[in-house]
Amino acid sequence: MDILGFSLLVLLVLFGIGSIENRISRTDRRVARIEHKLDLILGHLDLTEPEPWSDEVNALVRDGKKIQAIKVYREATGAGLKEAKEAVEKLA
């Protein structure tokens, strides 16, 4: 394989990886929007579903360990820092 063929192969692989990452990113954003809309609907209907990790988060908030509660919330839900902080502050 000559250098031109190898370069072309490398470019095709890099383009393919970028394309896959782009699709994953778009999918993640779509899922986040759907989850947000579902949260709004549940909030409007005053429906809450207790999560198995919520007892631990509530206990940490009661003990004044907000940062640890945010960390546990993020690990359990996959939420971002801002969302986790807002959720924990609602419990405080």
| Phi and psi torsions of 26, nearest 5° | -65, -40
CB 51 within 8 A of CB 76: yes
Look at residue 47 in the predicted model and tell me its pLDDT. 82
pLDDT along the chain (92 residues), means of 10: 74 70 82 90 83 84 94 91 91 81
Domains in the chain: boundaries: 1-49, 50-92
Residues 6+ apart with CB under 8 A from 63: none
